[in-house]
Structure formats: structure tokens, C-alpha cells
Amino acid sequence: MNGMTIRLDQIPVRQIKGVSARKEEELHAFGIRTAADLLEYFPFRYEDYRVRELEEVGDGERATIQGKIATPPVVQRYGGKTRMFCRVAAGRMLITAVWFNRHFLQDRLTPGRDITLTGKWDRNRRQLTVAESEFPGSGAAKTGTLQPVYSVGGGITQGWMRKTIAQALQQYGHLVPEVLPHELIERHGLMPRREAVMRIHAPGSAEEGEAARRRMAYEELFLFQLKLQAYRAHTRRKRDGVAHTADGASIRAFAAGLPFELTDGQKKAVNEILHDMRQPYCMNRLLQGDVGSGKTAVAAIALYAAVKSGHQGALMAPTEILAEQHMRTLEKWFAPHGIQVALLTGSLTERQRRDVLAGLQMGMIDVVVGTHALIQEDVHFRSLSLVVTDEQHRFGVGQRSILRRKGIHPDVLTMTATPIPRTLAITAFGDMDVSTLRERPKGRVPIKTYWVRHDKLDRVLGFIRREVAAGRQAYVICPLIEESDKLDVQNVIDLHQQMQQAFPDLAVGLLHGRLTAAEKDAVMRGFASGGAHVLVATTVVEVGVDVPNATLMVVMDADRFGLSQLHQLRGRVGRGSHASYCVLIADPKSEAGLERMRIMTETDDGFEVSRRDLELRGPGDFFGTKQSGLPDFKVADLSSDFALLETARDDAAEFVSREAFWRDPACARLREMLMRDPIFQGEQLD
């Protein structure tokens, strides 16, 4: 050990032989600046130059074979191009080898000479279209190897990249440091890092390449998980949060006063949340539950506990419609307890807004409900101790640090109705504790889902009429037209007219994104109070909207929606005790669209829907957007490295739970790596 160790990440790529100033610049475009970057620029697959027997090569496959030239080559010319062929004896077969535009090889193709050919095999014509050829003994390099294939482009060719990385390995390979604790390398029989970096670029066999890849994938996953787990542990160790003191009896009394009995799942989640809230650390908990599982009630109890402990709570919703709805619900539940609730959204008048801000600062308002504007810089609280965010939005490190700058260290409860498959959950939300609501409240009838083609529209209209005649209400969702906001609105207005013509005697409401917040609120209130029988809407009603009397959800052109979106839409019904239905109208044009319709009709369990959604789309697309918090792994592949991910997570959790991790010099390197991550900005690890 000496302090003068040469570090690969401090050696500019320019130091590698063959890297000119121009090449250096081109490498920068790939994010490659140092020798470490180049050595860690891993291939995404290998090209196989291992010699095979022709008998084993399938039709159309690319393969490398050995043979002896049997006839002199014949060159045909056409339009400036050439086609050259000769016969080659390969094993027990006589085949035709064909080269395009390689006639300069003609003189070297002398009958009787041994040759190795790599190319595409056409079994019927007994013909190999040659991509590359080598003569044994002529310093041949590729035959028998697996050649790495890198992502290249611009002025960087595959050949240059191979050569340069090989050169880098030769010059600096011995400096590759180990970063994993020795203990973990032993435990999982991992390849040491130096060897893995060499082998991943130049594996002696497919197994060796995979072992090297696996080692690097584990490292990547472990370091990622270590970051999340360390952050979680660090948050707990700091003890700078609010230890809520509300007494259990009062909280139980509040829960008992709700208009229903809590499900077992809700009780368990409430207990987990209250346990966290009573501790002096900052809670960072995810409450995941299928649509309609009753997350709002859980949030209300947590907010009640915050207020009864002498503090304030905030509930953030993704849309104004949802904020208004939460406002109505909480007012109803909190008013009997003298708890003041206020709404803070963009549609308040300047004066109303000033009043709310003043009320929050002085502590006259106990709970504030709003959209994400809630956490803006100019909102000050007397004592905010709990932030609840509803649906989708992750309360990120950025938002947390806005509050921290104001000296506020609230507990955070994030609610999501998109049940996340476990692998993704521990990746995207690994820094959080998770509570899960699996069941829906008792007495709910499962939602029946039907898929029909457009020519059955009349029957669907008849269905709507029957539900309305029975005293129920229906949603009709208009397909979204992604390219154009304007067309979208026109579309929903047309559909509304169509529905009005079909039901001249019914009240048909209209809801879309272009309405003002006040208009939206009026429409939603009208529908919630039974003033409209049918609500024609865009996906603005997608999340959270709760009208228990609505029992029929009709989705037009349903194949245009993603699975989780369809499941969310379906979740708008089945929220009361009446039998509920979801009708998907679609003539799917793609196999994926067809599969989505099938899945929807086969299950109404959100966990199952999301599992199959993940299967259909793969982890990268699962969350749709990049704000998911899912990292781009370089080596690891979430769709095949499940087991490795779980192992890495357990290892990381075990490590940070040890006191030694936070002090041991042997872990100094890991701690240093963590500190460089933005998640720890401005924090002291010890």
C-alpha cells in the first residue's frame, strides 16, 4: 500500500499507443476519457470464430470452417463489382466459396492450400458466402477466438476499437484495481476484477466470457444496491427527523370513525407507517397497492397522526382533479376532529393563495392538499412533519433537498397504484421501505372485463343504458391522439356529441385536459354527485378518481393504451359494492395490442397485470419514461440477471448493517465511491 498508486481513471486515453488527438476527441463522444473508461468499455456480444464442422452448421448461419482449396478461383465482373468463386474441400464435403469484391485475393487462392473461411452457409446450394478468410500459419489472429463486438460509430471502427482496447490491456491491464470486498469475491466465487476486465474483452471460451460478464454485472448491481442501502441506513442513523408522539388511542379512535372498517392490509400498513413515524429518523416509505385498495385512508391516518403530534402534513397529487377529490375526502374525515385542511393549487386567486400561505406559516392550517407546486420555494410551514405523495411521482432527492434547505426533515410516504414487480421495485425503490396492500376492501365484486370489436358498439351503448337505468353511472374514455393535443380535444368533443345523440334523454358530461381547473372541478363534482349519467373523458380521469356509483368503464380504441394505463382506467369502477364492468373496444392491429386485450380480460389483479406487462415490454420500457429512477446498467441485464440482483441486494444490505462498514479502512474505497454519487450530496458518511 502506498499513496502514489497510479490510478487508471487519471490516465488520459491519449496515453494509449495509437490514440491520436483526433481519435481522443472521437472517444470523448462515447464518454471515454481515461484508460479506465476505455478498459471498462465492454463488448455487447462476441463474434464466434471458433472452427466448426460444416455438418453442424444450420442453413443461413454464420460460421467459421476449415478446408482446402480444390479449384482455381473464377472472377466474374459486373458493373464495377466482382464475384469470385472456387471449390473448397471441407471435411467430407465439396462446397463453393464465394467472395464479393475481393478479387485481389485471387492470386493467393491456389489449389491445395489450406484456408479458414468465415461466412454465411447456404445449405441447399452448398455455398458459403465468405466475409473473412485466413490462411493458417500466416500470423492468423481471429480463427479459434471469440472477437468482442463494441458499440462504435463516427470515426471509430470495430477493428480500431478492438486493436486499441487490446493495446490498453497490454499497457495498463495490470493496474486494474479490485473494488469488491474480498469476502464477497470468495463467497460467490467471482473472478478477480483484473482478470474479468481482461477476459471480458478477450475470452478464451464462451464460459469464460460469461464468467467475466457475470462478475462485472454483480459488481455493478452490488455498487448500485450499496448506494441505495447505504442511503437508507444513513438516513436512519442520522436521527434528524421528527419523532411523532400522537397517542395510539386517539389514532385508533380516528380510524374507528372512518365510514368503513380497515382491511387487514390497511391495518398492517398503518402500523408500519406509525412505527416509522414514531422514530427519530426520516421515514422513506413506499405504499403500493392496487387501484381501489384504499390507500387514501391509510394516508389520512398518517396525516392525522402528524397533526395530533403537533405538526403539519402535506398531501401531493399529480393532477388538480385528484387534489380536489382528496381535499373533499379529507375535509369530510377531518372536520369532526377540528383539523383544518386547505387546498393549494395553481387555480387559486392571488388572495386565496396568500391566505393559505399565511395559514401554513402560522400553523392555522394543519393539512394542505395540492399538486406538486406545494413544495415550491415560497411555501413555508410552521412545522411540516409528513409529506404524502399520491400516485406515480417519486418524491426525489431534489424535492427532499428543497425541504432540507428550509430546515425541514419530514417523513415521506409515497403511494403508488402501479404494483411493481419485485426486481424493479428493489432497483427503482431500493432506498425505500415498502408497505403493500394486496387485497381490496371486503364486499367488492371483481370487475368483469370484456373486449369487443368496433362493430359491437351498439351493444355497448345498450349496456350503458341498462346500467344507467339501474341507477349506476358510466365512463366513456376517448383514445388519446399522441401527436396532437388539439386533435385530442376535438376527438373527445366529437365523442361527447355522439354520446349525446345516442342518449338524448341522459345527462352526458365532458372532461378533458383543456378545461380550466375550475371547469374540471365542476364537471367532476357534477359526476360524483350523480348529476351526470355518463362522463365522456380523456385519460385525465386515469388515476385516483373515486366515484363509487360508477360501475361501467368503456374504453374506445383500447389497444392504443398501455397495460398499466388500462388497468388504472378500469380501476375507476368497482369502487363500491355494485357489480362493475370494463368494456374495451378495439380492433388491435398488432400482436402486442392483441396480447394486451387478452391480459386485461384474463385478470383484474394489478400485480399480475404488471408482471405480464414487464414480460411484454422488458424492464427498460416498463415505466415508460426516464423519470423512473431505473438506472442504465452497463453490463447487468435486469431481464436475465434477476438472481444476481437479489444476491447483490442482500449482500449490500448486510454490509451497511455492519458497524464496520461505516469505519473500517477496508471499506474506505466503497465509501469514497458512494460519496461521489449525487444522492449523497452534502452529506457526511460516518
Contacting positions for Mg ion (CB under 5 A): 544
CA distances in angstroms from 608 to 31, 129, 171, listed in the order given: 39, 48, 52
Residue 289 interacts with, from ligand ADP, Mg ion, none (CB under 5-8 Å by kind): ligand ADP
- What is the nearest approach in angstroms of ligand ADP to the Cβ of residue 529? 14
Binding of ligand ADP at residue 473 (CB under 6 A)?
no
Residue 260 interacts with, from Mg ion, ligand ADP, none (CB under 5-8 Å by kind): ligand ADP
CA distances in angstroms from 415 to 77, 211, 271, 622, listed in the order given: 70, 39, 16, 18
- What is the nearest approach in angstroms of ligand ADP to the Cβ of residue 298? 8
Please say which residue, 544 or 588, places its beta carbon nearer to Mg ion.
544
Among 118, 229, 235, 263, binds ligand ADP (CB under 6 A): 263
- What is the nearest approach in angstroms of ligand ADP to the Cβ of residue 432? 18
Query: Which alpha helices (DSSP H) does 436-484 contain, by range?
Result: 457-469
Please say which residue, 181 or 370, places its beta carbon nearer to ligand ADP.
370
Per-residue binding string, ligand ADP, 358-387, x by CB under 6 A, is ------------------------------
Binding of ligand ADP at residue 479 (CB under 6 A)?
no
Evaluate whether 570 touches 582 at the Cβ level (below 8 Å).
yes
Provide the grid cell at 27: 472517444
Binding of ligand ADP at residue 575 (CB under 6 A)?
yes
Enumerate residues 6+ apart whose C-beta is below 8 A from 576.
548, 549, 551
- What is the nearest approach in angstroms of Mg ion to the Cβ of residue 160? 55
Please say which residue, 36 or 343, places its beta carbon nearer to ligand ADP.
343
Binding of ligand ADP at residue 294 (CB under 6 A)?
yes
Residue 266 interacts with, from ligand ADP, Mg ion, none (CB under 5-8 Å by kind): ligand ADP
- Nearest residue relative to Mg ion (C-beta): 544
Q: In whole angstroms, what is the distance from residue 333 CA to residue 339 CA?
A: 9
What is the identity of the amino acid at 685?
L
Please say which residue, 299 or 648, places its beta carbon nearer to ligand ADP.
299
Per-residue binding string, ligand ADP, 418-457, x by CB under 6 A, is -----------------------x----------------
- What is the nearest approach in angstroms of Mg ion to the Cβ of residue 624? 19
Please say which residue, 143 or 416, places its beta carbon nearer to Mg ion.
416
Among 293, 312, 539, 568, binds ligand ADP (CB under 6 A): 293
Q: In whole angstroms, what is the distance from residue 542 CA to residue 649 CA?
A: 34
Provide the grid cell at 169: 490491456
- Helix 668-675 to helix 206-238 angle (10° resolution) is 80
Binding of ligand ADP at residue 417 (CB under 6 A)?
yes
Residue 441 interacts with, from Mg ion, ligand ADP, none (CB under 5-8 Å by kind): ligand ADP
Give the DSSP per-residue string, 52-75: --GGGPPTT-EEEEEEEE-S--EE
Please say which residue, 488 or 546, places its beta carbon nearer to Mg ion.
546
> Considering only 41-49, 221-229, 286-294, 582-590, which stretch makes contact with ligand ADP by CB under 6 A?
286-294
What is the identity of the amino acid at 555?
V
- What is the nearest approach in angstroms of ligand ADP to the Cβ of residue 368? 19
Binding of ligand ADP at residue 538 (CB under 6 A)?
no
> Considering only 259-267, 345-353, 468-476, 629-637, which stretch makes contact with ligand ADP by CB under 6 A?
259-267
- What is the nearest approach in angstroms of ligand ADP to the Cβ of residue 413? 13
Binding of ligand ADP at residue 548 (CB under 6 A)?
yes
- What is the nearest approach in angstroms of ligand ADP to the Cβ of residue 622? 20
Please say which residue, 576 or 619, places its beta carbon nearer to ligand ADP.
576
Binding of ligand ADP at residue 44 (CB under 6 A)?
no
- What is the nearest approach in angstroms of ligand ADP to the Cβ of residue 417? 5
- What is the nearest approach in angstroms of Mg ion to the Cβ of residue 295? 5
- What is the nearest approach in angstroms of Mg ion to the Cβ of residue 164? 54
Please say which residue, 313 or 544, places its beta carbon nearer to Mg ion.
544
Residues facing 368 on adjacent strands: 314, 342
Phi, psi of 532 (to 5 degrees): -120, 145
- What is the nearest approach in angstroms of ligand ADP to the Cβ of residue 302? 13
Please say which residue, 95 or 298, places its beta carbon nearer to Mg ion.
298
Half-sphere CA count of 221, side-chain side, radius 13 A: 27
E strands present in 338-410: 341-344, 367-370, 384-390
Q: In whole angstroms, what is the distance from residue 608 CA to residue 526 CA?
A: 34
What's the chain's length in residues? 686
Among 34, 266, 371, 389, binds ligand ADP (CB under 6 A): 266
Evaluate whether 394 touches 627 at the Cβ level (below 8 Å).
yes
Binding of ligand ADP at residue 260 (CB under 6 A)?
yes
- What is the nearest approach in angstroms of Mg ion to the Cβ of residue 670? 39
> Considering only 119-127, 288-296, 451-459, 466-474, which stretch makes contact with ligand ADP by CB under 6 A?
288-296
Please say which residue, 263 or 414, places its beta carbon nearer to ligand ADP.
263
Q: Cα–Cα–Cα angle for 259, 263, 269, nearest 5°?
A: 110
Which residue do the cell numbers 481471429 mark?
142
CA distances in angstroms from 408 to 33, 282, 371, 413, 684, listed in the order given: 40, 10, 19, 15, 18
Per-residue binding string, ligand ADP, 295-314, x by CB under 6 A, is xxx-----------------
Q: Which among 9, 32, 1, 31 has a CA at the least distance from the CA of 19?
A: 32
CA distances in angstroms from 476 to 216, 349, 531, 540, 551, listed in the order given: 50, 32, 16, 12, 11
Phi, psi of 623 (to 5 degrees): -85, -5
Binding of ligand ADP at residue 344 (CB under 6 A)?
no
Evaluate whether 363 touches 383 at the Cβ level (below 8 Å).
yes
Enumerate residues 6+ apart whose C-beta is below 8 A from 568.
291, 417, 418, 542, 543
Which residue do the cell numbers 374506445 mark?
556
Which residue do the cell numbers 381547473 mark?
517
Please say which residue, 116 or 568, places its beta carbon nearer to Mg ion.
568
Q: Which among 497, 595, 492, 596 has a CA at the least distance from the CA of 541?
A: 492
- What is the nearest approach in angstroms of ligand ADP to the Cβ of residue 293? 4
Binding of ligand ADP at residue 546 (CB under 6 A)?
yes
Phi, psi of 240 (to 5 degrees): -110, 20
In the chain, what are the helix, strand and coil shares in percent, each to the nearest 5?
45, 20, 35
Half-sphere CA count of 668, side-chain side, radius 13 A: 3
Q: Could you say which residues in the range 14-43 bind ligand ADP, by CB under 6 A?
A: none
Evaluate whether 475 touches 554 at the Cβ level (below 8 Å).
yes
Q: In whole angstroms, what is the distance from residue 358 CA to residue 352 CA?
A: 10
> In Å, how far from its chain's centre is CA 4?
41
Please say which residue, 552 or 636, places its beta carbon nearer to ligand ADP.
552
Please say which residue, 133 or 371, places its beta carbon nearer to Mg ion.
371
- Nearest residue relative to ligand ADP (C-beta): 294
Residue numbers of the site for ligand ADP (CB under 6 A)?
260-263, 266, 289, 291-297, 417, 441, 544, 546, 548, 575
